Structure 1
Amino acid sequence: MYTHTVEYYETDRMGITHHSNYVRWMEAARTRFLAAIGWDYRQFEARGIISPVVAVNCRYKHPTTFGDQVDIRLQVKQLDRIRLTLSYQMTCQGQIVCLGESEHCFTKDQQLLRLDRDLTDFAAALRQYQA
Structure 2
Amino acid sequence: MKLKPYTRKTFFYETDQMGIIHHSNYIRWFEEARFDLLEQIGYGSDFLEREKLGSPVLNVNCQYKAMTRFNEEIAIQVVVRECSKAKLTFSYQVVGTQDQVVRATGESSHCFLNEAGKIISIQRQFPELYQLLNEII
TM range (shorter): over 0.9
Aligned equivalent of 2:85, options 77, 81, 85 = 81
Aligned equivalent of 1:127, options 122, 130, 134 = 134
The alignment covers a number of residue pairs equal to 130
Residue in structure 1 matched with residue 40 of structure 2 by the alignment: 36
Instruction: Determine what percentage of the aligned residue pairs are the same residue.
Output: 37
What amino acid sits opposite 1:58 in the alignment?
A: C
Partners of 2:15 and 2:21 within 8 A in 1: yes
Higher mean Cα deviation, 120-129 or 70-79? 120-129
Structure 1 residues not aligned, in runs of 5+ = none
Partners of 1:4 and 1:25 within 8 A in 2: no
- Matching of residues 30-109 of structure 1 within 5 Å: 30-92=34-96, 93-108=99-114, 109=116
Following the alignment from structure 1 to structure 2, what is the Cα–Cα distance between the partners of residues 124 and 11? 39
TM-score by length of 1: 0.95
Deviations 1:66-88 (A, max 9, x none): 11111100000111111000000
Corresponding residue SS for 1:14:
coil
Structure 1 residue 24: Cα displacement: 0.7
Deviations 1:51-98 (A, max 9, x none): 111111100000100111111000001111110000001111211100
4+ residue stretches of structure 1 with deviation over 2 A?
none
Structure (1 or 2) with the greater strand fraction: 1
What amino acid sits opposite 1:12 in the alignment?
A: D
